[in-house]
Amino acid sequence: MSSLALTLLYLLAAVLGVVACRSLKLPPMLGYLTAGILIGPHALALAQDSEVVRHLGEFGVVFLMFAIGLEFSLPKLRAMRRYVFGLGLLQVAGTMAAAMVGMLLLARWAGGVWDVGWQTALALSGTLAMSSTAIVVKLMAERAELEGEHGRRVLGILLFQDLAVVPLLVLIPALGSSPERLMVEMGLALLKATVLVGVLLAGGQRVMRWWLTLVARRKSDELFMLNLLLITLGLAWMTDLAGLSLALGAFIAGVLVSETEYRHQVGTDIRPFHDVLLGLFFITVGMMLDWHILLERWALVLLLLAVPMLLKMGIILLLARGMGATTGVSLRTGLYLAQAGEFGFVLLSLTQDHGLVAPALMNPILAAMVLSMLATPFLILYSNPIVMKLVASDWLQQSLQMTTIARKAINTDRHVLICGYGRCGQNLARMLQLEGIPYLALDLDPDRVRQAAAGGDSVVYGDATRLQALVAAGLARASAVAVTYLDLPATLKVLAHTSSHAPHVPVVVRTQDDQYLDRLQAAGATEVVPEAIEGSLMLASHALALVGVPMRRVLRSVQEQRDARYHLLRGYFHGADDDTASERDQERLTSITLPPDAASLGQALGQLALHAMGAQVVSLRHGNGQMTPASDEAQLAEGDTLVISGHPTALALAEDRLLRG
């Protein structure tokens, strides 16, 4: 098969695999693995293992390690140190120790089937300790669980696993040395890695910042991209030349870039290379799998599937429970991390390349790892029923949590329900307090909740994406809901629960920008407030004031921009304290609820021609609480509430036409 035909086959298999997984809401990685299995020499035999494609797959691993290094952040590690260097360190060390002891005991009892030395056991134990960051984080993000009790523990463990790959990449090649040279090679590899990393990190950050700044000043996207590739592959080549792995150099490159102000741009630019080449790596992994092994040695494959998953799950359960988590949270954490991971494949390939694993064991191990990853979406999907069935106290703990929320909200009515109590949520709460408006905030950070509650704030621990928590917080009695965190899946869950169980309650949503504006409004958001737009308005107002534009004109210009962007800010609702000479003729808002005898019932908005009077319908809320666009075709019915913008005279004429014809 020609190189072009082979390339087209790989691309077609990748596209079909990813499309199928997207349709089933599964991670793309599973699509790549499945595509590799199907087109590989052990299934349809459409493609043989190609050295060119394998090298491209290795580049995928290089860019994966670069991306991991790019995410390496000391403040992030410091904030999660308890979960990263506590739970994560203990999980990796405990899993490797238990797996190594188990493999050596198995080798003693069943040497013919499982003939491994301590070097192989050590390398395979490192492979076993890894979990899939790509699959687990994606599924947790879709389920809005990243900030949950188990979510933070899962992220901490995954972060340490990513860091633990680096010493394993140095150790495994040394383990493949001859017995008489083993200790010398391990010491030499450790020395080379220490010297190389020390030299690069000592002065490399300053050099990297200087060089990227020099390149960025040329204002050429092509030049910037070429330099990224040069830096990543160049450092990978240096570590390979030193007898270490390509991936180690890429990781160091990512760490160096992460300390510069270009890290976000670099992450965006490198993502296409990372995704495509990593996809090719997983296709080559899938091609290595001989599905006949599943039939011929099914007992061994099932053993290699079940025992490592149960072992890892049990270790994580015990460690999390010992570090203060409830049994339910600990079991969820173990279920989410029981599978093999993408770095496990990297380490397994490295183990095979250095002759540490026999060919007879390679395929059963690979098959068990692939099956564990295929099972992960279903384990996560059914994790809640599993925990409820196995941990009777979990249901009681959740009930107690709902009771705590309900007790806090029982005497609250017409309050604002704040989802998320970070800086944005706290600022909103202070403004509500100044106006004497009650509120109740739900947040998943126990330290923040404890400190804020001790300070007298009306905040309680609870997950706003769960319907039970919203109901316990008095969703049906609330006057409004404010979603203050920047998490699209979680926001959509809150909107779905509110629309289905309290459609009369308006919801205000905070977003980073207006990318998902239409989607959020379609989901039921009454108003969406993008930070980017508000930031640009504030920046513009300060800039105009600094260049000498009168402040009154600046404020008017900013207000006009807001009026054009936010429907609910076109004017204001008139109150008794607004009845001053300067404010009587300003544009304002009024709300009109149609009684049973209103003359406009059954008519379309367009028929009333309110705009001809100088009035504009801002929003239309039906009697059942549903918001609909204020279009000319909208039919009016009893109980509908119209919010109308205009000057006082126009509003009086509009009200007269709506009620009396």
Q: What is the CATH classification number for the domain harbouring 34?
A: 1.20.1530.20
Position 124 confidence tier, pLDDT thresholds 50, 70, 90: very high
Residues 414 and 548 in one domain: no
Distance between CA atoms of 274 and 267, rounded to whole angstroms? 10
Q: Which two tokens stand for residue 543?
A: 């800039």
Helix axes 359-381, 28-39, angle to 10 degrees: 140
Residues 298 and 441 in one domain: no
> What is the residue type of 2?
S
Residues 451 and 435 in one domain: yes
pLDDT at residue 563 in the model: 65
Distance between CA atoms of 489 and 112, rounded to whole angstroms? 51
Residue 11 falls inside a structural domain: yes
pLDDT at residue 338 in the model: 92
pLDDT above 60 (res 569):
no
Q: What are the pLDDT digits (tens) for 455-465? A: 788 888 888 88
Residues 339 and 447 in one domain: no
pLDDT at residue 133 in the model: 82
Laid out side by side, the sheet with 507-511 consists of 459-461, 439-443, 416-419, 480-483, 507-511, 527-530
Residues 115 and 47 in one domain: yes
Residue 230 falls inside a structural domain: yes
Percent of the chain with pLDDT over 90: 10
Q: Which two tokens stand for residue 255?
A: 């760490």
SS3 string of 473-530?
CCHHHCCEEEECCCCHHHHHHHHHHHHHHCCCCCEEEEECCCCCHHHHHHCCCCEEEE
pLDDT at residue 588 in the model: 73
Name the phi and psi angles at 286, rounded to 5. -60, -35
CA 586 vs. chain centroid, Å, equals 45
pLDDT above 60 (res 600):
yes
Residues 547 and 476 in one domain: no
Q: What share of the chain is helix, strand, coil (3-state, %, to 5)?
A: 65, 5, 25
CA 599 vs. chain centroid, Å, equals 51
Q: What are the pLDDT digits (tens) for 242-269? A: 777 777 788 888 888 887 778 777 877 7
Q: Which two tokens stand for residue 256?
A: 């160096």
pLDDT above 80 (res 223):
yes
pLDDT above 70 (res 489):
yes
Q: Is 556 exposed, middle or buried (0-12, 13-18, 19+ CB in 10 A)?
A: exposed
Distance between CA atoms of 472 and 145, rounded to whole angstroms? 19
Residues 65 and 204 in one domain: yes
pLDDT at residue 388 in the model: 78
Residues 505 and 536 in one domain: no
pLDDT at residue 312 in the model: 94
Percent of the chain with pLDDT over 70: 89
Q: Which residue, 629, 632, 578, 579, is CA-closest to 608?
A: 632
pLDDT at residue 84 in the model: 85
pLDDT at residue 647 in the model: 82
Residues 464 and 530 in one domain: no
pLDDT above 80 (res 440):
yes
pLDDT above 60 (res 583):
no
What is the count of structural domains for the chain?
4
Q: Which two tokens stand for residue 139?
A: 């599924």
pLDDT above 60 (res 579):
no
Residue 291 falls inside a structural domain: yes
Query: What number is the average pLDDT over the span 478-490?
Result: 88
Q: Is the dihedral of CA 233, 238, 243, 247 positive or negative?
A: negative
pLDDT above 80 (res 490):
yes
| Between 596 and 544, the higher pLDDT residue | 596
Q: Which of 390, 408, 441 is the last residue of a domain?
A: 390
Query: What number is the average pLDDT over the span 9-31?
Result: 82
Contact, 501 vs 467, CB < 8 A?
yes
Residues 487 and 604 in one domain: no
Residues 313 and 403 in one domain: no
SS3 string of 368-400?
HHHHHHHHHHHHHHCHHHHHHHHCHHHHHHHHH
Query: What number is the average pLDDT over the span 165-175?
Result: 84
pLDDT at residue 126 in the model: 92
pLDDT at residue 645 in the model: 82
Residue 56 falls inside a structural domain: yes
Residue 551 falls inside a structural domain: yes
Distance between CA atoms of 360 and 206, rounded to whole angstroms? 49
pLDDT at residue 48 in the model: 66
pLDDT at residue 509 in the model: 92
pLDDT at residue 105 in the model: 87
Position 577 confidence tier, pLDDT thresholds 50, 70, 90: very low
| Residues belonging to the chain | 661
pLDDT mean across residues, the chain: 81
Query: What number is the average pLDDT over the span 523-547?
Result: 81
Residues 401 and 383 in one domain: no
Name the phi and psi angles at 399, rounded to 5. -65, -40
pLDDT above 60 (res 498):
yes
Helix, strand or coil, per DSSP, at residue 26 = coil
- For 457, residues 6+ apart whose C-beta sits below 8 A from its C-beta are 421, 426, 429, 441
Q: Which of 390, 414, 433 is the last residue of a domain?
A: 390
Query: What number is the average pLDDT over the span 193-202?
Result: 71
> What is the residue type of 629?
P
Instruction: Name, of 38-42, 446-450, 653-657, the range with top average pLDDT.
Output: 653-657
pLDDT at residue 576 in the model: 45
Residue 574 falls inside a structural domain: no
Residue 580 falls inside a structural domain: no
pLDDT at residue 482 in the model: 93
Q: What are the pLDDT digits (tens) for 302-321? A: 988 999 999 999 999 999 99
Helix, strand or coil, per DSSP, at residue 173 = helix
Residue 515 falls inside a structural domain: no
Q: Which of 460, 483, 510 is the last residue of a domain?
A: 510
- For 531, residues 6+ apart whose C-beta sits below 8 A from its C-beta are 486, 510, 511, 512, 513
Window from 198-212, 361-375, 392-406, 571-585 with minimum mean pLDDT: 571-585
Distance between CA atoms of 347 and 404, rounded to whole angstroms? 47
Position 129 confidence tier, pLDDT thresholds 50, 70, 90: very high
| Between 348 and 388, the higher pLDDT residue | 348
Query: What number is the average pLDDT over the span 353-362?
Result: 84
Position 398 confidence tier, pLDDT thresholds 50, 70, 90: low
Distance between CA atoms of 67 and 71, rounded to whole angstroms? 6
> What's the CATH number where 443 sits?
3.40.50.720
The range of the structural domain enclosing residue 413 comes to 396-510
Q: Is the dihedral of CA 411, 416, 420, 426 positive or negative?
A: negative
